[in-house]
Structure 1
Amino acid sequence: MANVLLIGATGFVGSAVLNELVSRGHKVTAVARNIEKVAKSELLDVVKEDVANVDAIAKLAEGKDAIISAYNPGWTNPDIATLISENYPKILSAAKKSGVKRLLIVGGAGTLFCAPGLRVVDSGAIPEEIMGGVRPLGDFYLNILMNENDIDWVFFSPAGVFDQQGKKTGNYRLGKDDLIVDAEGNSHISVQDYADAMVNELEKPAHHKERFTIGY
């Protein structure tokens, strides 16, 4: 059993990761804005805290085996670009300050390559209305995380699309920097399978100071 700090536990991805963690018997301290949304469990402590508070997040993380961050200020939040740009470096700082050895981040697909030398974020495939969330997270990965050597981090990029009516199959492929597509050329994954792979990485670390990705 691992003892994990999960940031963003009530979001679309965070809630799936939380369910997977608890179902496997891991102890979780869940950080969320809306703590009333989190179902009670004897394996679960729920804390309302601001991710921008480096000292508070570091204190919550002390003694934990890992931090998983599914932080997202909300796709409809008009300040999403600023909040991601400001808060992800703070999450990284809190993780390093806490002494936790492992940081697993729910990444984005934007920095994956969809053709030689062409990242998804520059391909024109991403709707402009969500670019405010996509590009800053990609910049954090490319400009900050890739230069980070003081903590064992992972940036786990999903496929291009999350299946809205998906389920856990356990039948998926993992890759590194290239967008994974199926036989029809579609890049997709269920949030349940994404969570399954994230918790697999927690339990049996296979990636260190690098990005990896998933798809069918």
Structure 2
Amino acid sequence: MKFAVIGATGYVGSAVVKELAGRGHEVTAFARNTDKVWQNENVKAVAADVLSDGFAKELQGFDAVISAFNPGWSNPNIGADYSRGAAAIVEAAKAAAVPYLLVVGGAGSLYVAPGLQVIDTPDFPREIYDGADAARRHLADLLPRRDVNWAFVSPPARLGADAGFSEAKTGRYRLGQDDLLLDGDGAAGISVADLAVAIADDVEQKAHLYSRFTVASA
């Protein structure tokens, strides 16, 4: 199968590129700096600007597109930049008639109680609020849409070593929908390698069309 990964040099994007290529798929890795794209015979690195007028043409001919677009958590304009880029990617996917666009979002929009999302809890880090809120609003914009074949994945609260979890690949995970997954009394986690496994499984099967899902370590 042929897949495209937007944001292919980021934490999640690079792991997805490796997982898909390792399964023998043809992967086109879109990145601002192609020198940082993981090199493999199944991977084609392409320099791309998601805001360019011609980006829709770049998305034609794939079985699915994974958007791991993120303008950077240290970017002081992350909220506005994420919103603008994410919207452009969706419109490009629509114009290109992409069969399945999987957007990698955040955990902030998951629910910890009826009507209460992670992002609105008192302990949510203020320094990443703008980016998390932009991802939450992007999901809200996608939910009613049927003119583009979207899906949205939220990682768990603890993603990889930076969040106090593991970086080990087990190949196992469990699925959820809109609620934050737990491990005992605490938030569950997953390694980025296992998140990539879940993402690869999903795009191979186009398993969550028009819906959001979440994953955590099994």
TM range, smaller chain: over 0.9
**Shift of the alpha carbon at 1:206?**
2.0
**Shift of the alpha carbon at 1:182?**
0.5
Bigger shift: residues 89-98 or 78-87: 78-87
The 5 Å alignment of 1:194-205 reads: 194-205=195-206
Normalising by structure 2, we get a TM-score of: 0.94
Give the root-mean-square deviation of aligned CA atoms. 1.2
Equivalent position SS for 2:152: strand
Normalising by structure 1, we get a TM-score of: 0.95
Pick aligned residue for 1:149 from 135, 146, 156: 146
Indicate yes or no: 2:178 matched with 1:174. Answer: no
Indicate yes or no: 2:206 matched with 1:192. Answer: no
Bigger shift: residues 82-91 or 34-43: 34-43
Structure 2 stretches of 5 or more lacking a match?
Answer: none
**Shift of the alpha carbon at 1:40?**
2.2
The 5 Å alignment of 1:21-100 reads: 21-53=20-52, 55-100=53-98
Indicate yes or no: 2:107 matched with 1:109. Answer: yes
**Shift of the alpha carbon at 1:73?**
0.5
- Give the whole-Å Cα distance in 1 for the aligned partners of 2:108 and 2:84: 19
* Paired letter, 1:198: I
In structure 2, the residue matched to 1:12 is 11
**Shift of the alpha carbon at 1:207?**
1.2
1:5–1:60 CA contact under 8 A, matched in 2: no
Bigger shift: residues 10-19 or 159-168: 159-168
Structure 1 stretches of 5 or more lacking a match?
Answer: none
1:49–1:56 CA contact under 8 A, matched in 2: no
- What is the percentage of aligned positions where both structures have the same residue? 46
Please list the CA deviations of residues 141-177 of structure 1 after superposition, one character each: whole Å capped at 9, or x if unmatched: 11x1012101221100000121214211123210100
Please list the CA deviations of residues 89-148 of structure 1 after superposition, one character each: whole Å capped at 9, or x if unmatched: 110000010121110111111111011221111112320001121001110111x10121
For these two proteins, the number of residue pairs brought into alignment is 213
Moved over 6 A (4+): none
Pick aligned residue for 1:162 from 150, 159, 163: 159
* Paired letter, 2:153: F
2:180–2:187 CA contact under 8 A, matched in 1: no
- Give the whole-Å Cα distance in 2 for the aligned partners of 1:157 and 1:79: 22
- Give the whole-Å Cα distance in 2 for the aligned partners of 1:62 and 1:111: 30
- Give the whole-Å Cα distance in 2 for the aligned partners of 1:107 and 1:12: 13
- Give the whole-Å Cα distance in 1 for the aligned partners of 2:180 and 2:208: 17
Equivalent position SS for 2:5: strand
- Give the whole-Å Cα distance in 2 for the aligned partners of 1:27 and 1:66: 11
**Shift of the alpha carbon at 1:20?**
0.4
